[in-house]
Amino acid sequence: MNDELEDFVRDLQDRIDEDVLQTYGRAAYARWREPRFVGSMDAPDGRGRVTGTCGDTMEIFLRFRNGRVEAATFMTDGCGSSIICGSFAAELARGKTPEELIDVTGERLLDCIGGLPEAERHCAFLAAAALREALEDCMKQAHETRTF
């Protein structure tokens, strides 16, 4: 890449970064740059997979140990906001009991993120729905095997 093109790309990236920072705030920006807890999980205790009305899918995996979430990860084919929301949902799930997981709602995720533009608020509710489904899957599996 020649210097002129490198400068152009760097300038464009800086403008995109600034735009995202201004629109989404610092917490969301940081998570967008470096999403945490991304990926699937082998033999999870629970798995939730939900497709939103936007057509995007969020999947959340949970593993419990001693009655608390030991590990939580997510995958999505959705927008940047869905990555942010899945990442925060996985983070908030960690260390929680099944009862406490119920409090991880879309509104709670939006509070942690610092809000999202109106058109993308549903991404938080999609992540919360996938988390709820993962919890229900855990409870179902535990009921079937009586090991929870």
| Residues in contact with ligand FES by the rule CB under 6 A | 52, 54, 56, 78-79, 81-82, 120, 123, 126
C-alpha–C-alpha distance, residues 4 and 14, integer Å: 15
Strand order in the sheet with 57-65: 46-51, 57-65, 68-76
Cβ proximity to ligand FES: between 61 and 64 the closer is: 61
Quote the least distance from Cβ 58 to ligand FES, whole Å: 7
Quote the least distance from Cβ 93 to ligand FES, whole Å: 18
Residue type, 111: D
Quote the least distance from Cβ 69 to ligand FES, whole Å: 23
C-alpha–C-alpha distance, residues 119 and 117, integer Å: 6
Cβ proximity to ligand FES: between 45 and 120 the closer is: 120
Beta bridge partners of 50: 58
Quote the least distance from Cβ 14 to ligand FES, whole Å: 25
Cβ proximity to ligand FES: between 120 and 137 the closer is: 120
SS3 category, 64: strand
CA nearest neighbour of 105 among 74, 132, 87: 132
Cβ proximity to ligand FES: between 120 and 133 the closer is: 120
